[in-house]
């Protein structure tokens, strides 16, 4: 099975971020299916080190090592001002040029308006591709279609689940194929 890094680019605390809760939920599903899953909320990295791209800082170095050690990444971000989050961009910018070469990446975005649905393909996908990623079909979920309970469970409206579930399933199924990871 694959080693998957769930990377969350929300500036909000994980408990209040629908993006983080959705990514954590999908991470739990991947774990239940036998994948080894590690999580990284970029907002937890020291701001000074992150903004200075100080890859020698222990926390930043550990985060980069998580990326390097992953076979695949699930990248979740809220959409702000028609683009993915600045904290995620800052982290992606400090990675080596081809840090995602050979890695399958599933981009997910959340936001308050369907007007931002193209942020996945026109903002996030090009950056992930420039880092060498094999970018899977991404998906956008409206915030109001995500309900996070106090116990950590997440539910989606039927329409949101009907769109997201097959995207995640195709990506997850590709991870299970030995030849997919042999190329990594």
**CATH number of 108's domain:** 3.40.50.360
pLDDT tens readout for residues 123-137: 999 999 999 999 999
Residue 143 has what pLDDT? Answer: 94
Q: How many domains does the chain have?
A: 1
Q: What confidence score (pLDDT) does residue 145 get?
A: 96
Instruction: Tell me which residue range forms the domain holding 86.
Output: 3-182
pLDDT at 144: 95
3-class secondary structure, 107: strand
Show the DSSP H helices in 33-124 as ranges: 47-51, 58-69, 86-94, 119
pLDDT at residue number 87 = 96
Q: Which parts of the chain have pLDDT scores under 70?
A: 14-15, 178-184
Q: Which of 42, 51, 50, 46 is nearest to 8 (CA)?
A: 42
């Amino acid at each position: 099975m694959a080693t998957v890094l769930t990377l969350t680019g929300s500036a909000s605390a994980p408990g209040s971020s629908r993006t983080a809760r959705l990514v954590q939920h999908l991470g739990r599903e991947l774990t239940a299916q036998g994948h080894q899953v590690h999580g990284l909320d970029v907002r937890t990295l020291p701001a000074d080190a992150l903004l200075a791209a100080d890859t020698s800082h222990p926390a930043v170095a550990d985060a980069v090592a998580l990326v390097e050690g992953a076979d695949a990444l699930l990248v979740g971000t809220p959409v702000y001002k028609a683009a993915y989050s600045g904290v995620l961009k800052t982290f992606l910018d400090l990675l080596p040029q081809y840090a995602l070469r050979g890695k399958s990446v599933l981009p997910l975005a959340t936001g308050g308006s369907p007007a931002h649905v193209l942020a996945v393909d026109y903002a996030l996908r090009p950056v992930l591709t420039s880092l060498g990623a094999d970018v899977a079909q991404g998906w956008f979920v409206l915030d109001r279609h995500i309900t996070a309970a106090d116990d950590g469970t997440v539910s989606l409206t039927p329409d949101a689940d009907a769109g997201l579930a097959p995207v995640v399933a195709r990506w997850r199924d590709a991870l299970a194929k030995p030849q997919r990871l042999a190329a990594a």
